[in-house]
Amino acid sequence: MHTLSLKAMSDGLHRKQFSARELTQHFLARIARLDPQLNSLITVTAEQALAQADAADRRLAQGNATTLTGIPLIQKDLFCTEGVRTSCASRMLDRFVAPYDATVVKKLHAEAGMVMLGKANMDEFAMGSSNETSWYGPVKNPWDLERVPGGSSGGSVAAVAAGLAPVATATDTGGSIRQPAALTNLTGIKPTYGRVSRFGMIAFASSLDQGGVVARSAEDAAHVLQAMSGFDPLDSTSAERPVDDLVSGLSQPVKGLRIGLPEEFFGDGMSPGVRIAVDAAIKTLESLGATMVPVTLPSAPLSVPTYYVVAPAEASSNLSRYDGVRFGHRAESVKNLEELYKKSRGEGFGAEVQRRIMIGTYVLSHGYYDAYYLQAQKVRRLISQDFTQAFEQVDLILAPTTTDVAFRFGEKTDDPVAMYLNDIYTIAANLAGIPAMSLPAGFSDGLPVGMQLMGNYFSEARLLSVAHQYQQATAWHTQMPKGFN
C-alpha cells in the first residue's frame, strides 16, 4: 500500500478495498520496522492514529469523507498538536505538550480527516541544512545511510522517501522544504508567504517561515496543500484571498509557457552531475512546449549574507521567550535568577541555535542595527524587485535546487559558512516571499538531484501543473531507495 499514490489510496478507501485502520496499521508497522535505521520520527502517535483512522472509517461509511479522509500523514515537530509533545527537536521544549492545535493541524486532521502517524525529527528550531542539529540525534538519508537527508525538514523527507508515510508537513525559512526534498527524490512546495497559516507553528524567523508539504509527486502535494491553505484570522500575516483549485489545475499544459533561466543560478559551484540532470530536465520541458528565456537576478548572489542577518535577528527575538522561567527547559541547582537564565538557555539550546542567537543579538544591537540589519532589509527589497521584473518577461523561473547531491555526515559541521551555502539557490525565494518548489530531476552517482521552480506571488497552481506535466513525461519521482521499497 505504501507505493500507491495519494489518490489511489483515497480511491481504495472509498471503494472499501481496505479500511483507514488497515492503511494506518500498514504504515505504523513500517515505522516500527524501518525507522530505527533512519531516526526520522521524534514521537509516534500510534494509539491516536488508530483512533483517528476509526473516525475516518466512520466518515467514509457515512458518505461525508473528503479525498484526504483516512490518508496517513506525519507532522513536522514544530506544528503544535494538542495533547502531543511538540519539541522543535530541542531540549528546550523536550517536555512541551501543546494545549491546542496549529491551524494547519486542525485543517488536515479535524476538517479533512487525515490520520497523524507521528511528529517528524528536524534540525533544532529549524536551524540547519543537514538535520544534524536535533537534540534527538541526526536523521539519515534512506538513499545512503551515511549521508544527510538535508534540513531542516530532514525527518519529514526521510519518512516519506522511505515509505513510512505518503506525505508530511514541512516548513521553509531558507529552503528547508526544497533542499531536503531534492536530496531525497521528493516533491516539496513552499507556497507564497501568507498562503498557509503560521498560527501554532513555532517561529524561527517570522517574516520568512512558511509551512508547506513534501510528497512523492506534485499531484499528491497539490491535494494536501489545497487542504492546508487559506486565510486564517488568527495569523496577522495570513493572506486574505481565495485559494485556486490546485488539483483541477494540474491538467494545465506546459505548451506556450515562458520559463526563465537566471544566469546567476547556472554559474560556477554547481556539480557536473547536477548540471547534467537539470539540463536534461530543461530539454524535457522544451519538448512539452515551453520556451526557455535567459533572465537575470542581479541581487540574487547577495541572498545568503542577507538571510544570515535577517533570520538570526528574528530568531534572537523569537527565542528570547525560552528562558526557563516563563517557557522552556529550567536548569536545576542555581544560586540566583541570573544564573537560572544563563544555565537554562545554555543547557536548553544546542550550539547552532546559540550561534544564531548571538549573531542576531549582535546585528540588532545599538551601533550595528543600521550597519547590518537595516542594510540587509534594503538588499532584501532589491532581491524582491529583481523577481518582479523577471516575472514581467517569463511565467516562472527554473534553477537547480542544490549545488550537489547529499553530503556525508560531519562533512560540513565544522564549517558553518560551507553549511549555510547549501541554501544558496533557495534563500532568494524566501526573502522575496514568492512560491517555490523542488521536484526530482534525475540522479548523480546514484543519489537524487532536484530541480527548482519559482513563480510569481500566489502562482502555486501554475508551479504544480508544470511539475505534474513534467512528472507525466518522466519517471524519476517514482524511484524509491533500495531496502525501503
Catalytic residues, by residue number, are 76, 152, 176
Three-state DSSP at 399 gives strand
54-62 LR contacts (CB < 8 Å, sep 24+) = 54/20, 54/21, 55/113, 56/13, 56/20, 56/113, 56/115, 57/19, 57/20, 57/21, 59/113, 60/13, 60/14, 60/19, 60/20
Write the secondary structure of 415-474 as one string of H (helix), E (strand) and C (coil).
CHHHHHHHHCCCHHHHHHCCCEEEEEEEEECCEEEEEEEEECCCCHHHHHHHHHHHHHHC
Residues with Cβ within 8 Å of 120's Cβ and at least 6 positions away in sequence, in order, are 40, 41, 42, 74, 75, 76, 77, 153, 155, 156, 159, 168, 169, 170
Cell (9 digits) for 74:
506525519
Three-state DSSP at 402 gives coil
Amino acid at residue number 467 = A
**Helices 20-38 and 154-161: crossing angle, nearest 10°?**
120
Helical spans, DSSP H, in 17-148? 20-38, 46-62, 103-105
Spatial CA neighbour of 356 closest among 76, 90, 101, 4 = 90
Three-state DSSP at 116 gives strand
Angle at 246 between CA 245 and CA 249, to 5 degrees: 85
Q: Using CA atoms, how far apart are residues 440 and 182, in angstroms rounded to an integer?
A: 6
Q: Using CA atoms, how far apart are residues 216 and 187, in angstroms rounded to an integer?
A: 6
Task: Report CA-CA distances (Å) from 9 to 178, 200, 405.
Answer: 25, 29, 31
User: Would you say 86 and 78 are in contact if contact means Cβ atoms under 8 Å apart?
Assistant: yes
Q: Using CA atoms, how far apart are residues 174 and 307, in angstroms rounded to an integer?
A: 8
Q: Rg of the chain's alpha carbons, rounded to an integer?
A: 21
Distance of CA 68 to the CA centre of its chain: 20
Q: Using CA atoms, how far apart are residues 76 and 120, in angstroms rounded to an integer?
A: 5
Q: What are phi and psi for residue 37, nearest 5 degrees?
A: -75, -25
Q: Using CA atoms, how far apart are residues 110 and 115, in angstroms rounded to an integer?
A: 9
Amino acid at residue number 422 = N
Task: Report CA-CA distances (Å) from 419 to 49, 150, 435.
Answer: 36, 10, 23
